[in-house]
Structure 1
């Protein structure tokens, strides 16, 4: 029974309860409150261009759902993890258009 206990190894207090280190999963903000940024990225990707969507606040499942929608609309591959959505290729305008249509606050960053 290994849990994420931190700080206390042993306590003589009979009423002591361990504090778990597991953080509660973040709730997903409604689309109107999301501040998404769309940009073109080539760094550490072998010279390939990708459209990067950052600033998503919410659960991993909702991030995956939004990523799947964007990839489907653009007809390309990509990934969605760690609060970022990566869409292969330069689809900044199309991604921005889809996000605004879905009700998200999104803006283009960079050139």
Structure 2
């Protein structure tokens, strides 16, 4: 079996492969001065964690929402300028946000 690289060399004999350095993408989420609010609620009997009071771009907050959901391997959503995460993960979320450089304020319970 030929490797993919060998097959490509056979198809394109004149091509010189470029060395492309792999760069890890740094997130460029805007950090604000005001603390984010991290609170716990129960809706329909199920626990949720809500993060709110972000005053940057919605697209940045959506990226942050995706990162948190991926980190915790849980579901959640972004709506009405709030990130809603299924389950009570306040401590983990607050640590994650502080590591990113955000100020976080815990509200409730």
Asked whether the 8 Å contact 2:30–2:60 carries over to 1, the reply is: no
RMSD: 1.5
Give the TM-score of the pair, scaled to structure 2: 0.69
Give the TM-score of the pair, scaled to structure 1: 0.67
Structure 1 stretches of 4+ moved >3 Å: none
Partner in structure 2 of residue 33 of structure 1: 33
Q: Distance in 2 between matches of 1:58 and 1:82?
A: 14
3-state SS of the aligned residue for 1:63?
helix
Structure number with higher helix proportion:
2
* Rg comparison, structure with higher value: 2
Partner in structure 2 of residue 110 of structure 1: 108
Q: Of the candidates 68, 71, 75, which is equivalent to residue 77 of structure 1?
A: 75
Unaligned 5+ segments in structure 2 are: 1-28
Q: Distance in 1 between matches of 2:57 and 2:93?
A: 20
